[in-house]
Amino acid sequence: MDTGLFGGTFNPLHNGHLGIIQHVKEEFRLGQIILFPSASPPHKPAGNLAPARDRLEMIRASVRDMEGFEASDIELKRKGPSFTIDTIQAFRQTSGDRFFLLMGSDAFFDINTWKNKDRIFRTIPIIVMVRQSSVSSPSFTSFIDENISKGYRKEKNKFIHDKMQDIIICNVPKIDISSTLIRDRIRKNLSVQGLVPAPVKEIIMKRNLYI
């Protein structure tokens, strides 16, 4: 089965996340997408994060009735910082699926700060989710050439390499929702109706998150 792996803080999960990955799932005919929250993200301060178990529960409750979507606690089970390369290897050791790593363009252009960046590109194809952009953008071509490998060449919507995994560009709908916006609205006691799935709103209110 072709399976997408989508990690992040999900602080909290919102309708923008779900709308975009639903688009990716359909575009690439993925059998499933597994969402996994970071327990201890190395690039973000822990001070503004809801507890990892709460973020996991928000994901599980939101995708429970969505066919082909699953939540995983894989990074919560592992001690220490949540490095993506470790998570990829763990999935590959327990399943024979063909995996794709999903990431937003912001994360992609921040890839130089990731642990074992080169191993990631040797191990798994990456689907970069881009809002209102184009694969012909020189920023992608030059960034890949300067920061990942000079051996990549562009063919249609992806960059291919003889020794590295594909980098696939997926233009996704622009949905103006962010976790920062939601946290800000909650602090100001404003409604988040329509911005997050109903189970997420319920958990946030019940546990007084982001106050």
Residue 189 lies in a domain: no
Q: Which domain holds residue 151?
A: 2-176
The pLDDT of residue 31: 97
Give the tens place of pLDDT for each residue, 26-76: 999 999 999 999 987 765 555 689 999 999 999 999 999 999 999 999 999
Contact 39, 74 (CB under 8 A): no
Structural domain contains residue 109: yes
φ, ψ dihedrals at 7, nearest 5° = -110, 165
Distance CA 8, CA 12 (A): 10
Query: Does residue 130 sit within a domain?
Result: yes
In a domain, 168, yes or no: yes
With a cut of 50, list the residues of the chain below it in pLDDT. Answer: 134
Q: Which residues contact 182 (CB under 8 A, 6 or more apart)?
A: 12, 14, 192, 195, 196, 210
pLDDT value at position 45? 56
**Length of the chain as a residue count:** 211
For the chain, what is the domain count?
Answer: 1
Residue 167 belongs to domain with CATH number = 3.40.50.620
Q: Which pLDDT score, from 0 to 100, does residue 79 have?
A: 81
The reply to whether 22 falls in a domain is yes
With H, G, I as helix, E, B as strand and everything else as coil, classify residue 133: coil
Q: Which amino acid is at 4?
A: G
pLDDT at residue 78, as a whole number? 85
Q: Is residue 155 part of a domain?
A: yes
181 within some domain: no
